[in-house]
Amino acid sequence: MGMFRSARATTQTRWLIGVGLPAVRFASITAIAIAAVSPTQAQRARVSINDGWKFHRGDPASASEDLRYEVLPELKLRPDGADFDAGVMDDSDTAVRKGILRSYILPSGNAFIRDPARRHVRPAGNPGGTVDYVKTGFDDAAWQSVTLPHDWAIAGPFIAKGPYGGMGRLPSWGPGWYRRTLTIPLADRGRSVFLDVDGAMSYATVWLNGKLVGGWPYGYNSWRLDLTPYIVPGGENQLAIRLDNPMESSRWYPGGGIYRNVWLTTADPVHVAQWGTKVTTSDVSAEKAQVALALTVENLANAGATIVADTAIYAIDAADRRLGGAVARIAPATISLTSGGTASASGTTTILNPRLWGPPPTQRPNRYVAVTTLRRAGRVIDTYETRFGVRALTFDPARGVIVNGEHVMLNGVNQHHDLGALGAAWNDRAAKRQLDMLADMGVNAIRMAHNPPAPELLDMTDRMGFLVMDEVFDVWERRKTPFDTHLIFKDWHEPDLRAMMRRDFNHPSVIMWSIGNEVGEQYGGRGAAVAREVMAIAKQEDSSRPVMGSMNVAAPGSDFASVFDAIALNYQGAGVRTKLPTFAGFRAKHPDKIIFSSESAAAYSSRGEYQFPVPGGISNPVRPGVGGDEATHQVSAYELFAADFGGSADRTWAAQDQNPTVAGEFVWTGFDYLGEPAPYYSSRSSYFGIIDLAGFPKDRFWLYKARWRPDVKFVHLLPHWNFAGREGQVTPVHAFTSADEAELFVNGKSQGRQKRAPFAYRFRWDYVRYEPGEIKVLTWKDGKPWADETVRTTGAPLRISAVADRTSIVNDGKDLAWVSVALNDTSGSFVPRDKRAIRFTIDGPGEIVATDNGDPTDFVAFPSTTRKLFNGRAIAIVRALPGKRGPIRVRVTADGLPDATVQIGSQSK
């Protein structure tokens, strides 16, 4: 983790959890090469408990107790797409509901409620204690054996009919149970034992040894429960977790199950509190930087305690390894704690010649780790590591985001949390693959849409140098779908917001917070009052970063817009709804705030699907026969089409470039994602992505790369040139490049040389008539040759090309390889229109986890090893069997073609 603030920022305010003594100030010293604390002295243990789970869908038929969090209103299914680009929703379903377990779960959030008078008292009793699934003696041998992270819905089958498109047509709703035994050593008697869950979808309830411990409703947040009162040291302890994801609870695919990592943390009763450090930096220069650390210590012992805390700081590499000795140290401070209370301490030090964190390619994402050690009577009782970065961050209304003195335009994308065919289940390799592809396109910023991400994703953005907009809520009090999180907002918005911000505070990649996305409160009523309430909580947690809500309808002069530190606009800046760009209107009303597009474009396309006629404008809505095919439910890949509320990249950039104070954009979206499949809600996945669900770039990828990486010499031609039956018909040709001149040739005949016009972002020859052969484009920049590309009419496919993205993978059951399949003709050229079925088989110590092709209309379940090509391409995702070594051979077969084989090594870490 890591965090630093602008040298111009105000002093960080520290907020304490619970009752404790006033803050203690550390002395400040600078030191070099101070010895590290020995790892053997550390008393804290954090162990993965992802293995060994049993899983079952549904509650026991014999259960006599109601296990719901609360009784929800009666569900009335609505037509698909009714929630898309939602406006005001009525609040009738926010009426008082009958509580079942609600009053028992609410106290789980007490640590994040600032006012002690508002914290919850748990009632007497043990709800659920009579249910078979929570009992230690229940036989779960017939249940499914699973390893976490686990998404129970991603295997399908898809729901072909009915109004389920918004949530991805996968059965993610309903109750599900997880059971696992925990062996707690007798030596842990007297220690604190915590269950740490990075994410579970949703309304989680936890029992240990038949006793209700607590839970957490919001499916995207990370949370902790104290298991200590329920643990039996020296034996096996039965853990049971029930989830109950509601129907109509999301506008996209939420996933189902415990879909992120789960940990067991043991510590001395006196320990650094959960997410109990905050690191900020100031006065940052090449010569030095001041580092401040705020520390919260928790005492769960039956008696008071006096401890000594000190912190050493080390430089670390991308693998978190320390680079030599300590570069600075915060001197020891004595802290006194009452039984059951907390206390805080803060201190500063100086790092000389700091290694600054900043975004590539002009800066490097260097990081540090602060190692905090607690001692009681000279004995180490806790060691806590905080990863952070040193950077100076400024938000200039006239220039935008400035990192370490350098202006950085936000070339960003929005990302939903699913990982395509793997679903919501977190996987390091799958997430890194996505980030690598985005970085290659020129992306330097990610917006987490619209919820807290997996903590490991922020570790990756820290290491890679992305700038992150961290977001917590999609709704507040007003709903977008009947059973979304508006149902719990009033009770849980403070714990949820504080939990996310404390968890993510120290990540250097996080440069801004979003507390809401297109919330219904924009429309009036008490919207501004709710915004101020949520904003106040966020500013209590962090005064060093800007806090905002993403707006899609709020007017520049509205009270709602005035609440936020920055103006984050979803499509409004480019003229959506008003038909005129509103960047200027917001600039006039808010001259002291940065302005950027938190969502831009919302373009639609299906990879490799070219439809005719091609309209002449720079941005067009999808209509039957113009951009959209009602028979196939595909959208044209000319990259000129967008949702009615959005616009093409071309339109978006023109609005930005005519308003040079705009700080940049987050495009909707980087990758296609499951659910929200507008404009065709009969499909499984979205059409918005610059990269499709399987990970194949659409043509739009090169349009963005040309803008965001203008020094890369390339030109990308579209469409392909395989249009048998269109001979003599108008078939426009477009070219994406950063060059400023281009000339197109069709079978050697020039179609004209063009110079780039003002506010034009592609070259286009709209009156080319199709004839088989080849099209070729030559480009120039500043009068010098730049790049060229030739696209030819291909012959029939003669062979299968299968390529793995990695030659070997680790046999830990987590590492993955992607095998990409295409068809080539006799010259080796890619055949772009083939949609025949292919089959994957595997030999050796591996398995095929999933297959996909990027087709949003494909309802074949992801685990299937038979998959149709979509416009000539498909993928298989391969995993090595845990602990097994040797070559893994993936064979690809298709009717009428010779087989192809690719080999991947399986090896130990």
Residue whose token pair is 């939990």: 499
Q: Whose CA is closest to 372, among 339, 415, 332? A: 332
- Residue 882 makes CB contacts below 8 A (sequence gap 6+) with 811, 812, 813
In one-letter notation, the amino acid at residue 126 is N
CA distance 658 to 572: 14
Kindly give the residue spans of alpha helices, DSSP state H, lying in 711-806.
none
Long-range contacts, stretch 802-806, CB < 8 angstroms, 24+ apart: 802/890, 802/892, 802/900, 802/901, 802/902, 803/902, 804/878, 804/890, 804/902, 804/903, 804/904, 805/433, 806/904
CA distance 807 to 819: 10
Q: DSSP states of 226-275 as a string?
A: E-GGG--TTEEEEEEEEEEEPTT--SS----B--S-EEEEEE-SEEEEEE
Q: At what angle do helices 489-504 and 455-464 cross, to 10 degrees?
A: 40
Question: In Å, how far from its chain's centre is CA 470?
Answer: 9
The torsion angles phi and psi of 153, rounded to 5 degrees, stand at -100, -20
CA distance 646 to 549: 19
CA distance 235 to 519: 49
3-state helix, strand, coil in the chain (%, to 5): 15, 35, 50
Q: Which residue in the list 471, 521, 599, 771 is annotated as catalytic?
A: 599
Burial call 185-222: b when 16+ CB within 10 Å, e when fewer:
eeeeeebbbbbbbbbbbbbbbbbbbbebbbbbbbbbbb
CA distance 226 to 236: 17
- Using CA atoms, how far residue 456 sits from 130, 260, 427, 460, in Å, is 37, 10, 9, 6
The torsion angles phi and psi of 599, rounded to 5 degrees, stand at -140, 125
Kindly give the residue spans of alpha helices, DSSP state H, lying in 542-632.
559-562, 583-589
Let me know if 813 is exposed, middle or buried by CB neighbors in 10 A (0-12, 13-18, 19+).
middle
Q: Is 599 a catalytic residue?
A: yes
Strand partners, 742: 754, 779
Given its phi and psi angles, is residue 725 left (phi above 0), alpha (psi -120 to 50 degrees) or beta?
Answer: left
Q: Are 443 and 411 in contact (CB under 8 A)?
A: yes
Query: How close are the terminal C-alpha atoms of the chain, in Å?
Result: 24
H helices, E strands: number in the chain: 9, 51
Q: Are 198 and 458 in contact (CB under 8 A)?
A: no
The torsion angles phi and psi of 873, rounded to 5 degrees, stand at -135, 150
The β-bridge relationship of strands 305-316 and 510-517 is unpaired
The β-bridge relationship of strands 662-668 and 595-601 is parallel
- Residue 824 makes CB contacts below 8 A (sequence gap 6+) with 797, 798, 799, 800, 801, 830, 831
CA angle 299, 300, 303 (to 5 degrees): 75
CA distance 439 to 417: 18
**Does the N-terminal peptide bond of residue 794 adopt cis geometry, omega within 30 degrees of 0?**
no
Q: Whose CA is closest to 518, among 668, 636, 723, 389? A: 668
Q: Which residue in the list 70, 471, 518, 771 is annotated as catalytic?
A: 518
Q: Active-site residue numbers?
A: 518, 599
